[in-house]
Amino acid sequence: MFSFIVRRLLVILPMVLIVITIAWALIRLAPGDFYATERGLPPAVEKNIRAKYGLDDAWYIQYGKLMRQLAVLDFGFSRKYQEQTVNEILRRTLPVSIWVGLSAYLIALVLGLTFGTIAALRQNSALDYSSMAAAMLGISMPNFVLGPILVLVFALTLFWLPPGRWEWVEVGGIYLPNIKYLILPAITLSAVYMAYIARLTRAGMLEVLRKDYIRTARAKGLSERQVVFRHALRGGILPVVSYTGPALAFLVAGTVVVERVFALPGLGNYFINAALNRDAPLLLGITAFIAIVVLVFNLLVDIAYAYIDPRIRY
Amino acid sequence: MNQSSQTLLSVNNLATHFATEEGIIRAVDGVSFELKRGETLGIVGESGSGKSVTNLSILRLIPEPPGRIAGGEVIFNGQDLYALTNEEMRRIRGRRIAMIFQDPMTSLNPFMRISKQLMEITRLHLGYSKSQAYEHAVSMLELVGIPDARARVDSYPHEFSGGMRQRVMIAMALSCEPELLIADEPTTALDVTIQAQILELIKDLKRKTGTSVILITHDLGVVAGMTDHIIVMYAGRIFEQARTLDLFRAPANPYTKGLLRSVPDPTSEQGELYQIPGLPPDLANLPKGCPFAARCERAEEICGREYPPFVEVAPDHHSLCHFAMEVYATSKRERESRIAAPSATGNAILPVTNQTSPSNTSLANENLR
């Protein structure tokens, strides 16, 4: 197991390198750059700036500079936000994204597992059909549709929750999000994953409940509760566990949209702006960060998988 | 029914149905039998004959829906199992009636250590503490002949071979010293040498504990050496019911005779193995009359028209056939002529297999072609 983890960690390095290289190439290949605005700078000024940032250097010099930055995980100053380094922006925006992302993740896991299990245990009941119909709706509805609908209902009609933005509250020296601002984004983001997890759980549980060893457990005289929780759940949630890895990658993409819809000062929002502004350092910094997070999380999922299923050995 | 103190289990007119898209399948249709304490009952029949469903019905383990126990009663130790609450039934499962299943590769939970799976049952039924249950698990594994039991008790099922896993299943089933052990094809999924070991083990443990056993199998060779009584099932019904020796000596049902002839006999000069022609009937659309008629060598016009009677051909020997008496008489005659002119083959278990009348053989060959 230990050597597996080491091996996987070593694989992460070239993976990040590839991701960054592709992102860098795409930025270069796309027409225009940060200074190609409509109004245009005086040629002399632009020439000075290009020289300052090394934009006219040969591609391999620029690429080498990027590799040096990647090695120390410091991408320097943002071009758009002149007085801030990429790392400062990450530090400031990341907590917002993490709060939204993790809340959504937990909501999706808890409710998805619950509804999926109930649906499987009450197969073909009204409860099963209604929760699966809701799941189908959740999967089909993109979050940029669901978000505004929730805003319309809960913020602009019922006035229960704010329609957007973010607020930190200080509790004993620790900054926590104002939960009122967290609820709608988290629900919007979680809907799709909740639906997926519910369906995966239902399918997984239905399959496991038909297994011979469940019959054995019943023949032992265990109660239905013990059969489900002790014997069935472990095997039933394996598909969910394998899904949690890719889910995180989708979740990151989802944050980008949801933060836009709710105007949150999170990583995703800056990511979009960076792309629109051709803010290469910021864009590459965020890309590198997300790549590392997704890869590390996939590793964690594999470890969890081996822990749940003893037949798996790496 | 007569409820002698000796009777452990009595099944009366049991019927289990499954609702499917093609209609209602009568997987078990009016099965009755009795089992005395300390006895072993063999239930034989082809796949889909209702052997397993009968026994799952006894334990009320039929998945409902689509299954449904449509009628009959199961009296265990004077107690009507179908009158019990789920809670009361659970206290009987595993504690007083235990079950071993066909495929040991899939019948153990792959995510749980052997020790935990064994401890679960004694903690549940006998109220053992963790350490008591653990010690008991180790001693049960020793009892079923797992070498180095203490070191291996914490393994996962996938670390054991098939035969070992079946031993674990047996250890689990016998953990609470049940009064009745139902073994549902315990050796079918195992290779031949292991089969013999497992059967020997069940026999041995039965002698030690005095447990009654119901042994389900499609292998007549397996039941021959182990059982006191045999039930032959076909299409959810009992086709023949007799003491083991009587059944092998003089089968009174063409289906039983067919089964006996289809047991491989290595000493046979004939190259081809006999098989009963055709396939078991579709239980959703059973024909009028005898369900075996279409495959039966003895069938006559009446068989397709009228349902056969359950005839008592001799004391404690019943057969579901229009010609039960005649088939019985033929079997007896065949046996007598065999004893008069002993054959060269020494197949002690299955004396009937070698001797077939010429007409039967030619008919069988015709069907095989």
> Containing H/E element for A168?
strand A168-171
Q: With CB atoms and an 8 Å threshold, state whether B59 touches A219.
A: yes
Contacts of B106 in chain A (CB under 8 A): 211-213
The tally of domains found in chain A comes to 1
Q: With CB atoms and an 8 Å threshold, state whether A231 touches B112.
A: yes
In this complex, is the C-beta atom of B154 within 8 Å of any C-beta atom belonging to chain A?
A: no
Strand ranges for chain B from DSSP E: 7-20, 23-36, 40-44, 67-76, 79-80, 97-100, 180-184, 212-217, 229-234, 237-243, 310-314, 317-320
What pLDDT band is residue B355 in, cutting at 50, 70 and 90?
Answer: very low
The lowest-confidence range among A182-196, B198-212, B355-369 is: B355-369
Which pTM value belongs to this model? Answer: 0.77
In this complex, is the C-beta atom of A222 within 8 Å of any C-beta atom belonging to chain B?
A: yes
Angle A238-261/A86-121 helices, nearest 10 degrees? 130
The residues facing B18 across adjacent strands are B25, B67
For the stretch B271-326, pLDDT in tens is: 677 788 888 888 778 878 888 888 888 778 888 888 888 888 888 888 888 888 88
pLDDT of residue B368 exceeding 70, the answer is: no
- Domain membership of residue A282 (yes or no) is yes
Contacts of A219 in chain B (CB under 8 A): 59, 61, 93-94, 98-99, 101
Alpha helix positions (H), A30-85: 43-53, 59-72
Contacts of B101 in chain A (CB under 8 A): 212, 215-216, 219
What pLDDT band is residue B268 in, cutting at 50, 70 and 90?
Answer: low
- Domain membership of residue A264 (yes or no) is yes
Q: With CB atoms and an 8 Å threshold, state whether A221 touches B109.
A: no
- Domain membership of residue A49 (yes or no) is no
Domain containing residue A174: CATH number: 1.10.3720.10
The gap from C-alpha A311 to its chain's centroid, in whole angstroms, comes to 29
pLDDT of residue A78 exceeding 80, the answer is: yes
Which residue in A has a C-alpha nearest to residue B184's C-alpha? A216
- Domain membership of residue A262 (yes or no) is yes
Q: Which of A221, A231, A308 sits opposite B109 (nearest CB)?
A: A231
Q: Which of A212, A216, A308 sits opposite B111 (nearest CB)?
A: A308
Q: With CB atoms and an 8 Å threshold, state whether A213 touches B106.
A: yes
Q: What is the pLDDT of residue B270?
A: 65
Q: What is the pLDDT of residue A248?
A: 80
* Separation CA A20–CA A32 (nearest Å): 20
CA-CA distances (angstroms) from residue A108 to A104, A111, A202, A208, B233? 6, 6, 14, 22, 51
What pLDDT band is residue A145 in, cutting at 50, 70 and 90?
Answer: very high
What pLDDT band is residue B357 in, cutting at 50, 70 and 90?
Answer: very low
Residue in B54, B67, B55 with CA at minimum distance from that of residue B25: B67
Contacts of A237 in chain B (CB under 8 A): none
pLDDT of residue B352 exceeding 60, the answer is: no
Contacts of B169 in chain A (CB under 8 A): 216
ipTM metric? 0.78
Minimum distance, in Å, between the CA of residue A306 and any CA atom of chain B: 11
pLDDT of residue B266 exceeding 80, the answer is: no
Contacts of A222 in chain B (CB under 8 A): 90, 94, 120, 124
DSSP B230-294: EEEEETTEEEEEEEHHHHHHS--SHHHHHHHHTS--TT-S-SSPP--SS----GGGPPSS-TTGG
In this complex, is the C-beta atom of B7 within 8 Å of any C-beta atom belonging to chain A?
A: no
Which residue in B has a C-alpha nearest to residue A237's C-alpha? B111
Q: Which one has a higher pLDDT value, B360 or A121?
A: A121
pLDDT of residue B78 exceeding 80, the answer is: yes
Contacts of A218 in chain B (CB under 8 A): 61, 93
String of b and e for A4-26 (b: at least 16 CB within 10 Å)? Answer: eeeebeeebeeebeebbeebbee
Q: With CB atoms and an 8 Å threshold, state whether A221 touches B91.
A: yes
Q: With CB atoms and an 8 Å threshold, state whether A221 touches B93.
A: yes
Q: Which of A218, A220, A235 sits opposite B111 (nearest CB)?
A: A235
The lowest-confidence range among A21-30, A272-281, B216-225 is: B216-225
In this complex, is the C-beta atom of B121 within 8 Å of any C-beta atom belonging to chain A?
A: yes
In this complex, is the C-beta atom of B98 within 8 Å of any C-beta atom belonging to chain A?
A: yes
* Separation CA B76–CA B70 (nearest Å): 19
Q: With CB atoms and an 8 Å threshold, state whether A218 touches B93.
A: yes
Q: What is the percent of chain B where pLDDT is above 70? A: 90
As given in the structure block, the two tokens for residue A14 are 């070239």
Residue in B233, B232, B229 with CA at minimum distance from that of residue B243: B229
- Domain membership of residue A119 (yes or no) is yes
225-284 in chain A: CB under 8 A from chain B: 230-231, 234-235
Q: With CB atoms and an 8 Å threshold, state whether B101 touches A223.
A: no
Q: With CB atoms and an 8 Å threshold, state whether B110 touches A213.
A: yes
Contacts of A221 in chain B (CB under 8 A): 90-95, 121, 124-125
pLDDT of residue A160 exceeding 60, the answer is: yes
Q: What is the pLDDT of residue B360?
A: 39
CA triplet A177, A178, A182: central angle to 5 degrees?
80
State chain B's mean pLDDT as an integer: 82
In this complex, is the C-beta atom of B181 within 8 Å of any C-beta atom belonging to chain A?
A: no
CB atoms inside a 10 Å sphere around CB B315: 8
Q: With CB atoms and an 8 Å threshold, state whether B107 touches A234.
A: no
190-219 in chain A: CB under 8 A from chain B: 211-213, 215-219
The lowest-confidence range among A134-138, A152-156, A242-246, A280-284 is: A242-246
* Separation CA B121–CA B128 (nearest Å): 9
Q: With CB atoms and an 8 Å threshold, state whether A219 touches B108.
A: no
Straight-line distance from the first to the last Cα atom of chain B, in angstroms, rounded to the nearest whole number? 48
Contacts of B76 in chain A (CB under 8 A): none
What pLDDT band is residue A37 in, cutting at 50, 70 and 90?
Answer: low
Which residue in B has a C-alpha nearest to residue A208's C-alpha? B109
Q: With CB atoms and an 8 Å threshold, state whether A213 touches B109.
A: yes
Q: Which of A219, A234, A311 sits opposite B61 (nearest CB)?
A: A219
Q: Which of B90, B107, B125 sits opposite A216 (nearest CB)?
A: B107
Residues B351-360 have a mean pLDDT of 41
Which residue in A has a C-alpha nearest to residue B157's C-alpha? A311
Q: What is the pLDDT of residue A246?
A: 78
- Domain membership of residue A30 (yes or no) is no
- In this structure, are residues A80 and A282 in contact, taking their beta carbons and an 8 Å threshold? yes
In this complex, is the C-beta atom of B96 within 8 Å of any C-beta atom belonging to chain A?
A: no
For the stretch B9-48, pLDDT in tens is: 888 888 888 888 888 888 888 888 888 888 899 999 888 8
11-70 in chain B: CB under 8 A from chain A: 59, 61
Q: How many residues does chain A have?
A: 314
* Separation CA A257–CA A250 (nearest Å): 11
As given in the structure block, the two tokens for residue B253 are 């049902």
Structural domain boundaries, residue A193: 86-308
pLDDT of residue A267 exceeding 80, the answer is: yes
**The one-letter amino acid at B315:** P
For the stretch B160-195, pLDDT in tens is: 888 888 889 888 988 888 889 998 888 877 777 888
